[in-house]
Amino acid sequence: MIRIDGSYGEGGGQILRTAVALSAITGEPIEVVNIRANRPNPGLRPQHLHAILGVKELCNAEVEGAKVGSTLLRFYPHEVRAKHVEVPIKTAGSVTLVLQALLPVMTFAKSEVSFKITGGTDVPWSPPVDYLKHVTLFALEKIGITAEIEIRKRGHYPRGGGLVIGRVEPWEKRKELVARTFNRIESFDGISHSTNLPSHVAERQVKSAQEHLKKKFPSSSISISTEVGKSLGPGSGIVLWANTDVLRLGGDALGKRGKPAEVVGKEAAEELIEELEPKHAVDKFLGDQLIPFLAFAGGEIWVSEITKHLLTNVWVVEQFFGKVFEIEGRLGEPGKVKVVEKVFL
């Protein structure tokens, strides 16, 4: 049994998500201790629990300690099975964070896996679902993974109620990913959305984002669509991405009561501009998401920033497989991640 210290590094739910995913993939039982020990509300939260239960379904695992507030989890996996998985998060818990645990496991099934997840699609402290769909999955396609996500309904904090469905095909041919620097930005795209709010909110977010991107990239093509709908509660947000000659880099922002739509658009544009500044092909958000997949695919990525999330994910992967990665760069600065010992399973 592999023992994982859940308080290591950034000490959040990511340790748990990656550890449970790799346990299912390898068939190795794990014990995760000190789960989120340094957080104001230690232990498993509902969204972490749902991620565990989703992976449990995929590999028919036996689990101890799977309850809200638990700081100890034991996970005994069996073979990953192709099936339809439903994860009903009854809060605004992040759909995308649950998918961070499920996606790697789904790729190791012997045939297609489908899923349906309800919860928060656009909530603080987690990747927006549009980022996952248009940036993360675009990168995963480069290494041979075929996955689709459809956003049926938005779910904002605090009500949730979003609905996302999708499917993942078996990862049959693993392709190395080499993504160092980009030479050119081909265009900008994005999605500005709002629910239970006047349509001009999403439109003003677009106008503000376009204005700020045009200042920096005056000759670039910028196409940002708007989506206005209904959900359990009001909310808005915008996700932008730059299409480069290598991958896509993203930036996003969420609206909230009292925050002008113009500020939301500006924040997303400024975040994306900052990610593009080092000319590294992988943004800081995608960097840590790619780590578990990169271990099996091999290759090298240059990231706009070495984050605690990235370093923590590297650490978790290496608890299973020993030395896999070589990292060049300091925390908070642009850096390089190279696979030195690819994992063969």
Binding-site residues for ATP sit at 100, 285-289
**Token code pair at residue 24:** 């299912």
The burial of 1, by beta-carbon neighbours within 10 Å (0-12 exposed, 13-18 middle, 19 or more buried), is given as exposed
**Looking at 134, 193, 280, 309, which residue is catalytic?**
309
- Tokens 């919860």 belong to which residue? 119
Residue written as token pair 């290591």: 8
17 closest CA partner among 64, 54, 62, 60: 54
Residue 50 annotated among the catalytic residues of the structure = no
Asked whether the beta carbons of 299 and 281 are under 8 A apart, the reply is no
Report the 10 Å Cβ neighbour count for 303.
27
Annotated binding site: 100, 285-289
Neighbours of 220 (CB within 10 A): 14
Unique residue bearing structure tokens 């979003």 = 162
Between CA 328 and CA 338 the distance in angstroms is 8
Catalytic positions are 309
